[in-house]
Amino acid sequence: MSPPSSVRLAADIGGTFTDIVLETPQGRRTRKVLTTPAAPEDGVMTGIGLVLADAGLDFSDVAVFVHGTTLATNAIIERRGARTMLVGTEGFRDILEIGTESRFDQYDIMIRKPVPLVARPHRFAVPERMDALGRVQRPLDEAAVRALVPHLRAAGAEAIA
């Protein structure tokens, strides 16, 4: 068995497969198992169990565990996941539509912008302001945030950004 400080384990959850890599002084072992969309952790635990068993190791022998995933990226690209509400600075509710004005053809007045990830009815604003360096110019109005909670619930918020 390798000393614990020399054993590294990594898991990468993809949309179809979960990859597990175990590195020890004796070499590298890998496993690929199916990702379980409803419970992605199941694929990770299955793969870890298999690769550790192959090496005759226990999880307690692992010094470093690294995790990566494309699940969040895929959810954004596919526009699925939790119903998300956005709470931002008063006066900037429409910043998702305004964007940076960076576009492929700056003179195209008929340009089709992508649909924002959070629809306008699900965007809320509260009084506060920070400058470009992150210094507070106007403190967050916490009473306004508390007053917003019933509206977020009524809108069916499952996640708040």
Q: Write out pLDDT tens, residues 83-100.
A: 999 999 999 999 888 877
How far apart are alpha carbons 46 and 32 in whole angstroms? 10
What is the C-alpha separation between 117 and 115, in angstroms, rounded?
Answer: 6
pLDDT(2) > 50: no
What tens digit of pLDDT does each residue of 94-122 get?
Answer: 988 887 767 677 788 887 878 888 999 99
Spatial contact of 70 and 33, defined as CB atoms under 8 Å apart: no
3-class state of residue 67 by DSSP: strand
Q: Domain 4-76: give its CATH architecture.
A: 2-Layer Sandwich (3.30)
Residues of the chain with CATH 3.30.420.40: 4-76
**154 has pLDDT over 60:** yes
Helix ranges (H only) for the chain are 40-55, 71-78, 95-98, 142-154
Share of the chain above pLDDT 90, in %: 71
Query: Taking a C-beta distance cutoff of 8 angstroms, is the pair 85, 122 a contact?
Result: yes
Q: Is 35 exposed, middle or buried (0-12, 13-18, 19+ CB in 10 A)?
A: buried
